[in-house]
């Protein structure tokens, strides 16, 4: 049994098989050498076409972090808002340092920070939706890009 006809009945002569193999290998090399952006779109699953397994942010965890560590902005860090989480984390010790300085107006940052943290009670569900949407977008981008 020759290598040209292995697995195929009446596959033709060796020259025909060699030409077919050479054409196939040339097409594969040309496809592999193209940049990722130039490849055909047929091999990639379209956005939202199948299930994407993403570990979503939990609303219960966000509320627990808000209740126990809200003054430090832990719930905002958890929900993917590091800038506002850092602002909340810095606002609490800064407010207490101002209060210890003794001026009466220094209670204002503490009151405003407390109102901000209290308002997060109502904002956390929308922050969670946005965080989960970002997670889904990043998962699709890293899997199919």
User: Which class for 65: exposed (0-12), middle (13-18), buried (19 or more C-beta within 10 A)?
Assistant: buried
Domain definitions of the chain by residue range: 14-38, 59-144
pLDDT of residue 96: 87
How many CB atoms lie under 10 A from the CB of residue 46?
9
User: What average pLDDT values come out for the chain (145 residues) when binned by 10 residues?
Assistant: 54 76 86 62 51 83 97 96 96 89 85 95 97 85 49
Specify the DSSP class assigned to residue 46. Answer: P
pLDDT score for 137: 84
pLDDT of residue 3: 53
* Nearest in space to 144 (alpha carbons), one of 15, 14, 2, 42: 42
Residue 95's nearest CA partner among 62, 74, 72, 79 is 72
> What's the whole-model pTM score?
0.60
Tokens for 111? Answer: 């009151």
The C-alpha atoms of residue 3 and residue 35 are separated, in whole angstroms, by 34
């Amino acid at each position: 049994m020759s290598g040209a006809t292995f697995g195929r009945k009446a596959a033709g002569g060796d020259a025909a098989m060699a030409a077919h193999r050479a054409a196939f290998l040339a097409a594969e090399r040309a496809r592999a050498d193209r940049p990722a952006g130039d490849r055909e779109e047929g091999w990639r699953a379209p956005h939202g076409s199948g299930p994407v397994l993403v570990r979503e942010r939990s609303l219960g965890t966000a509320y627990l972090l808000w209740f126990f560590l809200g003054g430090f902005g832990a719930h905002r860090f958890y929900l993917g808002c590091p800038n506002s989480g850092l602002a909340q984390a810095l606002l609490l010790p800064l407010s207490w340092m101002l209060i210890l300085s003794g001026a009466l107006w220094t209670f204002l940052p503490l009151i405003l920070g407390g109102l901000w943290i209290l308002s997060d009670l109502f904002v956390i569900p929308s922050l969670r939706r946005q965080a989960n949407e970002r997670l889904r977008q990043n998962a699709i981008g890293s899997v199919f890009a």
